[in-house]
Each structure stands twice: as C-alpha cells, then as structure tokens.
C-alpha cells in the first residue's frame, strides 16, 4: 500500500510538466529584420516608407494587438486579421522627414498575443534639409 501511495504521488507531481509539454501551443511573430536604415534622405522629397516582414513561427494564430509609435512622424500599417501558423505578414512604416535635420532614430513597438509579447522595430537615417547638399 505504501508503494502504491508513493507511486501515485510521484505521478501526480509529474503530471503538470507532462501536460505542459504536450499542450504547449502559442503564436510567435518572428522578424528576420528589426532595423531599417534609410541612409541619407532629402527633406524636400517627403515621406519615405519601409516594410518589416514577419512570420508566425508558432502553432496558433497570431494577432497584432497594437503598433505604437514614438512620435507623429511615423505612421504604421499592419494586418488586422490573425496570421495563421507559418503565415507571413508585413508591417509598413512611413516616416515624414519634414522638420528633421541630421540623424534620426525612431522606434515602433509591435504588441502581439505571441510568446514574446512585444518587438521593437527601429528606423534610422539622416535627413538633408531642404536646400542642403549631400
């Protein structure tokens, strides 16, 4: 009887770990590139745009809950529908250089329902003012 009780206790203690391994389901946004360097851009040329591709490397649908910018000079566009496992998506970010002179570094934070809840994307470059030379 004592052996039976010890065996049952051991099984009960191991069960949560066994269940976690078998039921480990989650979405995950994986970004191959998290930084975009625009290089030198002319203020007079106006808005520039870049794209950050991502893949849902998890095994559940990925939902982008929000994309937060650090200032009004960046405008993000992102998928509003869930991305299936192994599915791809794109976050498009526009930057308005008007009023910026010299180097800039801007970030956009992507929040998802994934294992990693947030990812920071970075935009950088240097603005040549209107009438300025390269």
Burial class (CB in 10 A: 0-12, 13-18, 19+), 56: buried
Residue 132 has a pLDDT of 64
126 vs 17, more confident:
126
Is the predicted pLDDT of residue 134 greater than 90, yes or no?
no
Tell me the average pLDDT of the chain: 88
Q: Which domains does the chain have, with CATH numbers?
A: 29-128 (2.60.40.10)
Residue, of 17 and 67, whose pLDDT is higher: 67
Q: Report yes or no: 43 and 63 within 8 Å, Cβ to Cβ.
A: no
Residue 8 has pLDDT above 80, yes or no: no
Q: What is the pLDDT of residues 84-118, one digit of tens each?
A: 999 999 999 999 999 999 999 999 999 999 999 99
Residues sharing a CB contact under 8 Å with residue 16, sequence separation 6 or more, in sequence order: none
Q: pLDDT tens digit string along 14-62?
A: 555 444 444 689 999 999 999 999 999 999 999 999 999 999 999 999 9
Q: What is the pLDDT of residue 21?
A: 45
| Range scoring the smallest mean pLDDT among 85-89, 117-121, 127-131 | 127-131
């Amino acid at each position: 009887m004592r052996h039976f009780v010890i065996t049952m206790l051991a099984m009960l203690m191991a069960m949560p770990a066994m269940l976690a391994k078998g039921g480990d389901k989650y979405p995950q946004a994986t970004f191959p590139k998290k930084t975009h360097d625009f290089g030198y851009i002319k203020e007079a040329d106006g808005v520039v745009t870049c794209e950050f591709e991502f893949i849902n490397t998890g095994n559940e649908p990925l939902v982008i809950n929000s994309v937060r910018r650090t200032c009004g000079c960046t405008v993000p566009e992102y998928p509003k529908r869930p991305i299936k496992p192994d599915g791809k998506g794109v976050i498009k970010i526009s930057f308005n250089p008007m009023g910026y002179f010299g180097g800039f570094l801007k970030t956009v934070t992507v929040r998802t329902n994934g294992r990693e809840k947030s990812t920071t994307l970075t935009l950088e470059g240097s603005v040549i003012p209107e009438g300025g030379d390269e």
